[in-house]
Amino acid sequence: ALGGAFIGALYYVSSLASGSAQLHVVTLGAVTGLFGSLLDSLLGATVQATYFDRSTRKICDESAAKADVEHICGANVLTNEQVNLVSVLVTTVVSGQVAMHLFA
């Protein structure tokens, strides 16, 4: 959410000179940033497998498969990178649609 608000604030400041500054873009950036963060967390918790290495007592990924690694949550459907990609794509499309409805 903070990153989205920062991008919105940069847009607002840069558009002051042209006279078309729209403060509600900062709000849209913050809300869609929060949405993207929550979506990433939800996908990561459900469709990305998480493992626990008992010997090091740390969370690890599937590539560290050893006898003392235990699957603790999430389905093994997507990797972390794929979860990030899906989150970014969905957030981009949703924020674009919201912006079209709000600013059209």
Q: Within 2-72, where are the H helices?
A: 2-15, 24-46
- Residues 65-103 pLDDT 10s: 677 889 999 999 999 999 999 999 999 999 999 999 988
User: pTM here?
Assistant: 0.77
- Per DSSP, 62 falls in state G
Number of domains in the chain: 1
- Per DSSP, 78 falls in state -
Contact (Cβ atoms closer than 8 angstroms) between residue 95 and residue 34: no
Q: Is the CA virtual torsion 6, 1, 86, 66 positive or negative?
A: positive
Cα-based torsion angle of the residue sequence 20, 26, 32, 35 in order, rounded to the nearest 10 degrees = -170
Q: How confident is the model at residue 18 (pLDDT cuts 50, 70, 90)?
A: confident
What domain range includes position 8? 2-103
